[in-house]
Structure 1
Amino acid sequence: MTAPGAPRQRPGFLVRMMLLHLAVVAAVVLLCGGVYGWLTYERLGRDAEQRALSIARSVAADDDVRAGVTALDDAGPGDLDPDVLARGDLQLAAEEVRRRTDSLFVVITDDAGLRLSHPNPEQLGRPVSTDPTEALAGQEVTSQERGTLGLSARAKVPVYAPGTDAVVGAVSVGISRADVLATLEEDITPVAATAVGALGLGAAASAAIARRLKRLTLGLEPEEIATLAQDQEAVLRGVDEGVIGVSAEERITVCNREAGRLLGIEDPDRLVGERLGDTRLPGSFSALLAAATPESPAIEQVIGPRVLILSARAVRPARAPQRRLRDPRRTAPGPGSHVPELGWVVLIRDRTELQSLTRQLDAVGALSTALRAQRHEFANRLHTISGLLAIGDVEEARRYVSEVTETGPLSYPAEGAELLRDPYLQAFLGAKSVEAAERGVSLRIGADTLVRGRITDPQDVTTVIGSLVDNAVRAAVQGAAEDRWVEVELLDDWTGGEGTLHLVVADSGDGLPVEDPEPIFAQGWSTTAPSAVVPGHGGGAPFDALPDVHGQGFGLSLSRELARRRGGDVWVADPGGPGGPGAVFCARLPGTVVRDPGRGADVHGERSAGRAGGAG
């Protein structure tokens, strides 16, 4: 119940639309029915006039009527007395015709317009109430006029003297408009029934349209829909994540700019309206939607040069019942899942930089561990030098300091670490050697390693090197050889003025389990996936040459994408074999090295000195 003084609540949009639709239907039906009724009424009036004309002609052509009117043409006042006329032949004949034809009146007049017959005897001998001039002039006239007996459709016809063309009088016949209306009522009843049926059909259609609009708009008012559209535009353009909306018919309804950027789509708006299967989006999207539940986890996938996290959520209106999948052409969802009434929302997040930063953080953590492990060694060296100086053996102290200087301040487990002059490569591979040593694998730097420049893109370089080294360490651990090792060799060159880093990684594992190494660069293959079987390999053993960096086998795929984006590549030079040596991976990374002006020109002398120091 509305409280006194409270504003009156306005009917909803759907109610107003239904009432408006009903009003339009009613107006159209009433207008058509009214026009039809008016046209029918006019037609019946014209038919009555023609009927009256036919009766008047028949009476005027009767010989007795013509003779009687002619006989009274020269009659005196006594012959035109109402009582005399009431008993005359003309009155009796006219009344007989009136009753037989069910007319309102049949009036016969003389050439002066005096009534010689009339249904009301008191009107006999008096002038007619309407103008008889045209009929007495020899013309037939039809009209709808009001006389002493009321409104009628009437006709006036001249009466000629027998055997001549002389007009001696006129016959006027009238059909009551009440009779016309009675006929109209009979004709208009089916039309009225049809109009009522049309109104009922319009009401049913209005109700059906209102229900349909309510389902389509989820019961929202236009103002609320406009507000939602504005909010959606603001949110989609403002969020830092990629958002793709998919309808229940698997048509893309929304694709913001961030989603286009992450997926490598120049114009994401062109995807709106297309079916998901007709776009160039990865095929995993359909499977992601089919398995979408409120608890479904996000998945990682390499798309182009990026590692993306994809998550899908089904969208349903509040308190709306869930409908099960009915379209057999659509991919069946998992057990217990339902088809959403509104569709799905796919969220896309970029994890590429996070993976790279994670790798760098792991390298820093490993380096920190190595530094803490060497702390006592530094202390021992300082104590040794202090002792030699204390006893006065300066030459022995000088020789000891020279050895420490040549071998470097740190003693990484990596063999040949002194060949790495770039501090980033030195720290990263040194930390990797510490991790490898903990797993019983010796990491060594190849004797032909020669990096004269400085690394300019450490993120891409460490991503590729780290993936290949991690794979090699894992393969060496799982291999049958007792001597477990991983060898890394790096070279740089400036062909065409661009610095390119070349990388070769070999191990002592059992090699690749496939003849064609291309499938190992596909997404999703990982040693952590026990059911992963490489296509073309009959066995079901896990693939031991794939990375486990990302937890789901994206290392090699991402490394190749990063290299190819720079114009380089990652490939298998030798698949290896059972018993070792294992597989040999190569990588080429253009644009990752620049010349270091601080280095000496005699790099061969530097390398020789380094080898000598390492031997010492």
Structure 2
Amino acid sequence: MQTTDTVVPVPGDRRVPRRRGIAFSTRMMALQLGVVVLVVVLTAGIYGWLSYQRLVAEIGSKALAVAQSVAVEDAVQDSLAAAATAGTTPANAALRDGAVQRLAEALRDRTDSLFVVITDRRGKRWSHPDPTRLGETVSTSPEEALAGREVTTLETGTLGPSVRAKVPVWAPDGRTVVGEVSVGFSTDDVAEALAGALPPILAVAALAVVTGGTGTALLSRRLRSDTLGLEPAEVGELVQDQAVVLYGVSEGVIGVGEDGRVTICNDRARRLLGLTDPAGRTLADLGLPPRVLALLDAADDAARPGVQVVAGGSVLIVTAKRVTRGGRKLGWVVVVRDRTDVEALSRQLDAVGALSTALRAQRHEFANRLHAISGFLRIGRHAEATEYLDEALRSGPLKYPVDFAGTLEDPFLQAFLGAKAMRSAEMGVPLRLGGATLIEGRVSDPQDVTTVLGNLVDNAVTAAVRGMAGERWAEVELLSDAATLYVTVSDSGDGLAGADAEELFAEGYSTAAGARDQAGRGEGFGLSLSRQIARSLGGDLWVLSPGDAGGPGAVFCARLPGVLDAGADASAGAGTGSGTEEGA
């Protein structure tokens, strides 16, 4: 896995120009602040209205209590009862000096009320703050009180709007209503009381606005931080681009947050790594090799090559890049690439290249032999020409690079092993077929056979080159059983040198630690991949013999079910094989 820093482009660098105008966070802050202010104003207004109603009710209760106390005064009851019996109302002059007026005015002064008005049952005033109005009919209806009911109301009379209470005045015998008492307090008193309650209300409202504004500002700041300063339209574009990138590329992509947990994983990565529901899990929980996890813990500036892993019978290359923006670390992007097809194509290309080289050599050899025969004929040596031609027909135009290749009839195996033999011969290791080799049928699964057989042969040739034996060699023995192919590969190397046979098949294990080929590919994956392929077919790959120091080396066996077409025409295979042998 390669760990480098990748800087996320700022919105202005995107292919879609950034929208101008007021930022979304600012508009959201203004909207939220407006909502807070509106709610506070409505709440304060409702609270003020309820306070006004409460004050009106309190003052009305006070007026009612005063009116009730006046209505039970003996002087009031006796005077109004006498007037009711006489059916007349005294003159204004008599009322001014009467006991009812004096009592009402004294009570008005003590209670600081707006008025204390006493009327008889005809609605004529017996008391009033303005003596000139004595004897006149009251300005508001006394019907409720004269009907024997106590009421509290907000009305406007000769002295202006007031909260007033009206109670009936009963005769001394308590059977007849002889008048009413109306006590009122000015609405200015209510306003003054409400004004006293307004400062706390306004203070609470101001505190609510400040608190709401502060919370809105913090929320807006947090939103800008969480969205990395992007506008909603830009976030939507990023989501669209993310879907295009994640699900449109052929590589597997895994997003890992700073906490090491997977935030997103595309379908390709799930298939390559065999993952199910990886979101929210760590890479360790996903079963990735330790060296992949170790790379995420490396320093940010550490440059490391991609890591090869084997998963599901495939060789995968895993790389990673750290993502930062504005100095803030956002996590990693892990990219998984399938290299299995590339490896197979490389082997096939190697085989084609080796065979083309062999064909060029054969062409030159064939031309040389034709020149020799032509020379014999020109000088009249017909017997020598015939003998030379018979010898050429018996040995072929060019000796096939694999010993005992005549026992192998499948053309694919002949071509593949021929290519391998060319390369091993260049390394000074002859490649030969075992004498017990016998194949009936044709190869139907070249890719799996190529991978398993090629890895085993390459390992055998490498072991022979590194071995201490005087004579170097590598041997392949192939046997068929219906559709199953058995492969045995041995060499002249120094064997496994006491290594655990099972440890050889561990991913990344190599007897030459750190060795890498010219393409930058590390050793240690061939046996692991080959065993996975064999087992995926229902077969297996194992160590038959660990070998000895100084040779012979280790012997590996593989069983590959279903890779042969048992119904293929053997004669066709033989004919093709012979032609390939001679043509090789």
Common topology (TM > 0.5): yes
Code of the aligned partner of 1:597: D
Q: Partner amino acid for 2:169?
A: V
1:186 and 1:418, CA in 2 relative to 1: closer, same or farther beyond 3 A?
A: same
The answer to whether the aligner puts 1:509 opposite 2:493 as a matched pair is: yes
TM-superposed CA distance for 1:166, in Å, is: 4.7
Query: How far off its partner does 1:509 sit?
Result: 1.3
Name the CA shift for 1:72/1:461 in 2 (closer, same or farther; >3 Å): closer
Contact 2:442-2:573 at 8 Å conserved across structures: no
Q: Give the Å deviation of 1:201.
A: 1.8
**Does the 8 Å CA contact 2:255/2:264 hold for their aligned counterparts?**
yes
**Mapped contact 1:480–1:580 kept (Cα < 8 A):** yes
Select 2:439's aligned residue among 420, 441, 451: 451
Give the alignment partner of residue 327 of structure 2, picking from 321, 325, 333.
Answer: 321
Judge conservation of contact 2:410–2:574 (CA < 8 Å) in 1.
no
Partner of 1:385: 373
Equivalence for 2:267: 257
Please state whether the residue corresponding to 2:51 is helix, strand or coil: helix
Task: Note if contact 1:412-1:433 (Cα within 8 Å) is conserved in structure 2.
Answer: no
Cα shift readout 1:556-597 (whole Å, capped 9, x = no counterpart): 112222222222222110001212211011122223333552
- Indicate conservation of the 8 Å contact 2:515/2:523, yes or no: no
For the 8 Å contact 1:479–1:580, the answer to whether it is kept is yes
Q: 1:490 to 1:400 in 2, by over 3 A?
A: farther
Instruction: Write the distance in 2 (CA, Å) between the matches of 1:453 and 1:170.
Output: 128
Which amino acid in 2 is paired with 1:227? Answer: E
Query: Cα–Cα, structure 1 residues 91 and 22, in superposed 2: closer, same or farther, change >3 Å?
Result: same
Code of the aligned partner of 2:194? L
Partner-residue secondary structure (3-state), 2:213: helix
Q: 1:465 to 1:99 in 2, by over 3 A?
A: same
Q: Does 1:483 align with 2:471?
A: yes
Q: 1:582 to 1:9 in 2, by over 3 A?
A: closer
Matches within 5 A, 1:324-339: none
Asked whether the 8 Å contact 2:64–2:183 carries over to 1, the reply is yes
Please state how far the C-alpha of 1:490 moved relative to its aligned partner.
1.7
Per-residue deviation at 1:472? 1.4
1:159 aligns with 2:159: no
Mean Cα displacement is larger for which, 305-314 or 419-428? Answer: 419-428
**Aligned match of 1:599:** 571
* Distance in 1 (alpha carbons) for counterparts of 2:461 and 2:97: 142
CA distance, structure 2, for counterparts of residue 507 and residue 9 of structure 1:
73
Tell me which amino acid in the other structure corresponds to 2:225. R
CA–CA distance in 1 between the matches of 2:271 and 2:146?
99
Instruction: Give the TM-score of the pair, scaled to structure 2.
Output: 0.86
Q: Is 2:278 the partner of 1:271?
A: yes
Q: Is the alpha carbon distance of 1:392 and 1:292 closer, same or farther for their aligned partners in structure 2, counting shifts above 3 Å?
A: farther
Q: 1:492 to 1:155 in 2, by over 3 A?
A: same
SS in 2 for 1:52: helix
* Pair 585,160 (structure 1): closer, same or farther in 2 beyond 3 Å: closer
Distance in 1, matches of 2:520 and 2:474, equals 17
CA shift at 1:506, angstroms?
1.1
CA offset digits 1:159-211 (Å, max 9, x no partner) = 34556645443322111122122223334443332232222222222222222
Partner of 2:547: 576
Aligned pair count reads 560
Deviation at 1:427, TM superposition (A): 3.2
- What letter matches 1:321 in structure 2? G
Residues 182-581 of structure 1: pairs in structure 2 closer than 5 A: 182-265=192-275, 270-280=277-287, 285-291=292-298, 295-317=303-325, 320-322=326-328, 340-341=329-330, 343-372=331-360, 377-494=365-482, 498=483, 500-530=484-514, 550-581=521-552
Q: 2:498 corresponds to which letter in structure 1?
A: V
Aligned partner letter, 2:557: C
Distance 1:305 1:93, change over 3 A: same
How far the C-alpha of 1:123 sits from its partner, in A, is 2.1
Question: What SS does the corresponding residue of 2:343 show, helix, strand or coil?
Answer: helix
**Residue 448 of structure 1: how far off its partner (Å):** 1.7
Q: Does 1:135 align with 2:155?
A: no
5+ residue gaps, structure 2: 1-18
Using CA pairs under 8 Å that are at least 6 residues apart, name the structure with larger relative contact order, 1 or 2: 2
What is the SS of the residue equivalent to 1:464? Answer: helix
Instruction: Letter of the 1:19 partner, please give it.
Output: A
Q: Which of 141, 153, 159 is the matching residue for 1:149?
A: 159
Question: Residue deviations 1:193-252, cap 9 Å, x none?
Answer: 223222222222222222222222222232222232223223333222222223333333
The SS at the match of 1:131 is coil
How far, CA to CA, are the matches of 1:292 and 1:397 in structure 2? 76
Give the aligned partner of residue 64 of structure 1: 75
Distance 1:429 1:138, change over 3 A: closer
Question: Residues of 2 paired with 1:143 and 1:108: CA distance?
Answer: 17
Change (3 A) 1:449 1:365: same
Please name the residue that 2:4 is paired with.
Answer: none
Q: Is the 8 A contact 2:362 2:397 kept in 1?
A: no
**Which is further off, 517-526 or 437-446?**
437-446
Write the distance in 1 (CA, Å) between the matches of 2:89 and 2:337: 121
Aligned residue type for 2:29: M
Q: Percent identity?
A: 53
State how far apart, in whole Å, the 2-side matches of 1:40 and 1:231 are: 58
Superposed CA deviations along residues 70-120 of structure 1, whole A, max 9, x for unmatched, are: 5666899995235x5444443332222111111111122233322222112
Mean Cα deviation higher: 304-313 or 522-531: 522-531
Pair 548,591 (structure 1): closer, same or farther in 2 beyond 3 Å = farther
Q: Secondary structure at the match of 1:135?
A: helix
More displaced stretch, 296-305 vs 68-77: 68-77
Q: Which moved more, 1:297-306 or 1:414-423?
A: 414-423
Indicate how the Cα distance of structure 1 residues 356 and 377 shifts in structure 2: closer, same or farther if over 3 A, else same: same
* Unmatched 5+ stretches in structure 1: 1-7, 323-339, 533-545
The two structures have a TM-score, normalised by structure 1, of: 0.81
Provide closer, same or farther for how the CA distance between residues 46 and 205 of structure 1 changes in structure 2, counting only shifts above 3 A. Answer: same
Q: Give distance in 2, aligned partners of 1:460 and 1:78.
A: 128
Task: Write the letter of the residue equivalent to 1:562.
Answer: I
2: CA distance, partners of 1:163 / 1:264: 104
Q: Retained in 2: the 8 A contact 1:470–1:547? A: no
After superposition, the Cα gap between the structure-2 partners of 1:105 and 1:570, relative to the gap in structure 1 and judged at 3 Å, is same
Distance in 1, Cα, partners of 2:264 & 2:38 = 42
Matched to 2:115, the amino acid is F
Is the contact made by 2:409 and 2:573 (CA closer than 8 Å) also made in structure 1? no
Q: Which amino acid aligns with 1:383?
A: H
Residue in structure 2 matched with residue 175 of structure 1 by the alignment: 185
Contact 2:541/2:557, CA 8 A, preserved across alignment: yes
Secondary structure (helix, strand or coil) at the match of 2:480 reads strand
